[in-house]
Amino acid sequence: MSTLLNQSPAPTSTPIQHRKIAGFLSNRRGRTLLIIGLCLLFFASVIVSSNLMGNNGLGTDLNTRHTAPTLAHPFGTDWLGRDMFARTVRGLSLSLFVGLTAAAISAVLGVILGTLSATFGGVVDTAITWLIDVFMSLPHLVLLILIAFVVGGGVQGVIISVAVTHWPGLARIMRAEVLQLKSTDYVLLSARLGHSPWWIARHHMLPHLFPQFLVGLILLFPHAILHEAAITFIGVGLNPTTPAIGIILAESTRYLSAGYWWLGVLPGLTLLIAVKAFDILGQNVRSLLDPKTSHE
Amino acid sequence: MALPLLFLFLSYEYEKPKNMKLLLLRFAGRKLFRLIILMLTVSVLSFILLSLSPIDPVRAYIGADMLRVSPEQRAIIAQRWGLNEPPVTRYFLWLGQALSGNLGISMIYNDAVIHVISIRFLASIVLIALAWIISGLLGFALGVAAGSRENSLVDRLIRFYAYTLASTPAFWLGLLLLIIFAVTLKLTPVGGIAPPGLTPDDLPIWERLQYLILPALTLSITGVANIALHTRQKLIDVLNSDYALFARAQGETNASLIRQHGLRNIALPAITLQFASFSELFGGTILVEQVFAYPGLGQATVEAGVRGDAPLLLGIVLFSAIFVFVGNTMADLVYSLVDPRIRISKGAKAT
């Protein structure tokens, strides 16, 4: 509706440039694209600034220990006088890296297993569905601790443990999706017309499944990042000198009763914003890709 | 050989059993069978995983005294633990012991695993139960408040709150509560379960509550968002239904409409969701107990993971699977008890 209204020339004296921007923002599609852009910009700036800063601000300076947030140190300093803002950005970019890698591996696993399960059926389907059930029958964190314990610590260990615990949800969705597609009229008709299963997979299944995969992937990020933070917080994953958000927060618990609130509050808030941004990104990409809502 | 027969017996479709007792029995039988298979799978998988672990159990057991223990002594320990047997033999040795109720000895607590788990769980269940009640009541109330007036200011505020909570790390929220209520306002203790040197049994109930309230609140938070959003959506669906329109046409007010038609219809999904949240609650206690230094099962899980206590970790994995299973089974049961339209046999099949 709104796009139609925007196309009719409005009798105003504003310059065309302005009207274009206003028109872009007044429909949902434009706003969605803008939000997506802002989210991407946020992540890019975290990663780029973390790389640009290098070791700036991470050095110890015992003269400025435990300073509350000031202009020079927006997030305050810690017990060694290190700038908390620098540490937070560092930690966040590590968390983003771990979260992104783990979520990507997890999503690929989910798609492969879900599709295999639906395509082959029979024993394969039973085995994979049962595996999904078993994974879902354990609390997520217990599974994470178990797997982190098995693969050992380090960034690699955390990535593996987050990656192999997040696929069941997407696998289940993909399985249902493929099963549904397999029984649709146009796929059945296509098979009757003599197209090979491979042709059907490429021309009918893939275009349908790819958006699902993309949205599933993006919506996995917040979970992956939260779980990465959780597992480093409890100390199973990385060693205590790595500047990960979870480790920074775990460290802050020792200084809370001394009143150094900024050590925990601000890094956590940054993490919250990052997670929220991914969530918003996922919701917006979904509404853009879903044919039901893409024209609103 | 009895298992396949049992399975055949349980999956056999009877001619519309009218007897409620029989239905319940079959439901229980099916669930029990599922639980047994689940426990076997989980234990086999965990066993494989743990035997792949690079951590040497003897080294983990000895710890800092490694230099004072000679290789011969280490070999004796390995011998006594049966570490030289092949993994399959080890699994069956373990299974035999586990079936007779012996899950081994926890290295870090130097106590039987079953004993450690039961003591720790008794501490955690108080926390879990409190959080469960808070999140259920609060989430339901917020959901009704939001759903009764769709898109009003209240609705938008509650929705924003719920969505933000859903992406908040629970342990960070615990830290915030600690800073506000324990450090700044000094209303509650900073952590633990009782003052040093005392046990909770020495304290009157309100003092025990002081130690419980912050962890329980933190633990309830994820659940609140979930319940509130689902309840809201259900209530909106009910209020937009034909029968609600008809009731309005007959002069029913919004409040009485919610009371008469709304609550009955939205109670069921809320209760089910609440029982299905056992998994998240268990995971949540791990983080919350870490923040508040609360000596429950969650803390033991972390200790077992960090310090390489394989028997305890295996025990906790199995225990958590049972805990989640009980929650899901209760959700199924409640479903069929509250809603007469849903038969138990159906509910059991669907899961």
- pLDDT one-digit tens code per residue, A167-182: 998 999 899 988 888 8
H or E element at residue B112: strand B111-112
Residues of B in contact with A229 (CB under 8 A): 169
Least CB-CB distance to A257: which of B183, B279, B306?
A: B183
pLDDT band at B3 (very low <50, low <70, confident <90, very high): very low
Contact between chains at B167 and A142 (C-beta distance less than 8 A): no
Q: Is A70 on the interface with B (CB under 8 A)?
A: no
Please tell me which residue of chain A has the smallest CA distance to B292: A253
Measured distance CA(B10)–CA(B3) in Å, rounded: 10
The residues, any chain, with a CB within 8 Å of residue B296's CB and separated by 6 or more, are B120, B121, B123, B124, B127, B285, B289
Contact between chains at B42 and A226 (C-beta distance less than 8 A): no
Share of chain B above pLDDT 70, in %: 83
State both tokens at A27: 């429909």
Return mean pLDDT, chain A: 80
pLDDT band at A108 (very low <50, low <70, confident <90, very high): very high
Burial of B318 (0-12, 13-18, 19+ CB in 10 A): buried
Q: Is the pLDDT of residue B297 over 70?
A: yes
pLDDT band at B118 (very low <50, low <70, confident <90, very high): very high
State both tokens at A38: 């802002």
Q: What is the reported pLDDT for B14?
A: 46
CA-based nearest residue to A118, from A179, A205, A169: A179
Least CB-CB distance to B324: which of A137, A146, A148?
A: A137
Measured distance CA(B238)–CA(B232) in Å, rounded: 10
For the stretch A208-240, pLDDT in tens is 888 888 888 888 888 898 888 888 888 876 777
Please tell me which residue of chain B has the smallest CA distance to A258: B183
State both tokens at A117: 């399960």
Contact between chains at A140 and B55 (C-beta distance less than 8 A): no
Interface ipTM:
0.81
Best mutation target, A150, A165, A232, A269, to test chain B (most B CBs within 10 A): A150
Instruction: Tell me the mean pLDDT in the region A104-120.
Output: 90
Least confident of A25-29, A96-100, B100-104: A25-29
The DSSP bridge partners found for residue A83 are A77
Structural contact between residues B271 and B334, judged by C-beta atoms closer than 8 angstroms = yes
Q: Could you say which residues from 107 to 146 on chain A have a Cβ atom under 8 Å away from some Cβ of chain B? A: 130, 133-134, 136-142, 145-146
State both tokens at A87: 């540490």
Contact between chains at A138 and B175 (C-beta distance less than 8 A): no
For residue A85, CA distances in Å to A251, A262, B125 come to: 15, 10, 39
For the stretch B139-195, pLDDT in tens is 999 998 888 888 889 899 998 888 888 778 888 888 888 888 888 787 777 777 767
Q: Is A147 on the interface with B (CB under 8 A)?
A: yes
Measured distance CA(B214)–CA(B293) in Å, rounded: 12
Measured distance CA(B70)–CA(B129) in Å, rounded: 48
Measured distance CA(A246)–CA(A236) in Å, rounded: 11
State both tokens at B83: 């570490």
